[in-house]
Chains A and B, each alone.
Chain A
Amino acid sequence: MSGLRVTLCLLLIVAAVLVQTTLFRSVRPLGVSPDLVLLMVIASARWVKPEVGVLLGFFGGLVLDMFEAAPFGLNALAFTLAAYVTVRIGDRFNYGLAFGMSSAGVITFIALATAVLIGTLFGEGTLGSPGILKTLLLVPAYNMVLSLAVFSLFDRLLVRPSERLARTGGRR
């Protein structure tokens, strides 16, 4: 099941990159789009071994880097850090829906802030952009909302039916 999970997570991350680069070009409430790839990385990191989760974060960032003009590796760095934070606080995601959603928001903020700071050090100058505060606040907020759907998707895809039955005591 572990190998299957990793494969599924990889596929979901690649699919998220495609959706991010197509659908979210048009869907930009208040001029900012959610970071679906980062959300997939966060959700994936909860379902695999910690070191694999971190590797998934690096992979997701690297794939996204292939589509962006930012220095190659910037997203890989930010997403790796996000995945690491996720695996370190992984059990806290289970404290409840609100905690899970807010954790997704906080980790998104950490990843974005990292990308902004490191990008600025590498000459990107994103820290001085006029809309940077809006981006830093709205993207985590959007990801919090989207996490409800993404986490549910991972719940459904990555749990074996027998496990689900065992955990719910046979309840449907």
Chain B
Amino acid sequence: MGLTVMDQMSSRIGGERKGHAPKPFKHSSPGAATHRTGADRSAFVTIVLLIISLGLMTFDVRSSNEGFGAGLRNGAKFVAAPLQAGINAVVSPVVGFADGLANLAGLRQENERLRERIAVLEGEVIRVGHLEAEVEELGLLLDLRLEDDLQELAVRAEVTGSAGILDPTLFINRGTAGGVHPGQPVVDNQGALVGVILEALEGSSVVLPITSRRAAAVTVRLADDRRGIVEGLGADGLQLAILDADTPVDEGELLITFGPYGDSHSYPKGLLVGTVTASASPRSGVIRVSVAPMGDLDRVEYLTVLPWPPSPDQLAEATEPVNPTGVVPPQSDPDSEQTGP
């Protein structure tokens, strides 16, 4: 293809005027028209590459993302990190400025949304006030102050990039050297749960959003102290499931993490997860309803990684009551919320 796109268009229009059928250009752009033999070869090459791709996928899935694919990914992220930081340094101010201009009209809606969120939160504070007092009392009894410890040990990080059209992940600029380890929860500046660390290199990490289907399900507490499970549906979607439900859930109801429960150690308690998007009643004793995540993955620039567990070793020592850092390790006891901080 030698002519520019515009040239081609003019040529096409001219051809139509004269009543000629469109003809492919004959020039140095190879394409299928000038490489029939190559096109035939390309079918064979395509089949081979498709088989290789399927083999790679099978191997990667069977090795639970820890095989050679993980090594390649780590290497690529290590090499790309400085380049991405450079691009971000140039692009972010421009995008921010353009975004600000474009969203001037949307600021009013954003303010409205924030007001509604404040109203929900204020209502929630009133409703769970007595529970907080009870928890505080229990925490004092145990001489534990988990949230303070978590905040002191938390690692602040900048979002440097993202990948994935169908199932996005985020990159942050802190890694194992900064105390970040796979499995640790990540929150935004508002304390809303964003995701969990999927992979950690020395200087960078990958965050898997809770909206991803791959993310661990989050056990949440509702305002009336009921327990539910929030699962990622992909594409910014979350779903709340309540088993053995006998009363409905209301639109706008706030969901917070329940803390360690059963085999789930992924999240400490008290993190904002999302709000119920519509009222729902139980059907056959089960409620399933969509949830709007609190964390805004599209716009978040800074994240906080919570040391939960502080290091992979802590997970193995999860049954220990107190660890050297002072952070309560995850408990496998279902009643741990009564004895936790």
Question: Which positions in A face B, CB cutoff 8 Å?
Answer: 1, 17-28, 31-33, 35, 46-51, 53-55, 57-58, 61, 63-74, 76-77, 80-81, 83-84, 87-97, 100, 112, 115-116, 118-119, 122-126, 128-132, 134-135, 139, 148, 151-152, 154-156, 158-160, 163-164, 166-168
Contacts and interface: CB of A to CB of B under 8 A. Distances in A.
Interface of B: 1-9, 12-13, 22, 24-25, 27-33, 35, 38-39, 41-43, 45-46, 49-50, 52-61, 65, 69, 72-73, 75-77, 80, 83-84, 87-88, 91-92, 95-96, 99, 159-167, 169-171, 198, 206, 208, 212-214, 233-237, 290, 298-299
Contacts of A77: 49-50, 53-54, 57
Given A91-B31, A131-B236, A152-B4, A51 B164 contact: no
A163 B113 CA distance: 57
Contacts of B162: 21, 24-25
A110 B76 CA distance: 27
A21 B5 contact: no
A1 B28 CA distance: 10
A62 to B, nearest CB: 8
Contacts of B22: 94-96
A130 B45 contact: no
B39 A70 contact: no
Contact of B95 (A20, A23, A112): A23
Contacts of A26: 91-92, 95-96, 99, 298-299
19 contacts: A18-B84, A21-B171, A25-B161, A26-B298, A47-B29, A51-B45, A68-B164, A69-B164, A73-B52, A77-B53, A84-B43, A87-B42, A88-B42, A94-B25, A115-B166, A122-B57, A131-B235, A131-B237, A139-B165
Contact of B87 (A23, A51, A54, A66): A23
Contacts of B167: 68-70, 124, 126, 129
A21 B83 CA distance: 11
Contacts of B99: 26
Nearest to B234: A129
A71 B27 CA distance: 39
A69 B59 CA distance: 14
Given A22-B84, A31-B298, A124 B213 contact: yes
